Amino acid sequence: MTKLAANLTMLFTELPFLERFRAAAQANFKAVEFLFPYAFEPAQIAEQLRKNELELVLHNLPAGNWEAGERGIACHPDRVNEFRQGVDDAIRYAKVLGVKQLNCLVGIQPQGVSAAAARETLVANLKFAADKLQAEGIVLLIEPINYFDIPGFFLNTTKQAAELIAATGSNNLFIQYDIYHMQRMEGELANTIKANLSLIRHVQLADNPGRFEPGTGEINYRFLFKYLDEIGYPGWIGCEYKPKAGTVEGLGWRAAHGL
Question: Which residues participate in catalysis according to the annotation?
Answer: 143, 240
Residue 165 host element (H or E): helix 158-168
- Going by C-alpha positions, the residue among 83, 87, 177, 179 that lies closest to residue 138 is 87
Task: Provide the 10 A C-beta neighbour count for residue 1.
Answer: 7
* Size of the chain in residues: 259
- Going by C-alpha positions, the residue among 127, 197, 201, 112 that lies closest to residue 165 is 127
C-beta separation of 31 from 237 below 8 A: no
C-beta separation of 159 from 126 below 8 A: no
- Going by C-alpha positions, the residue among 11, 33, 8 that lies closest to residue 248 is 11
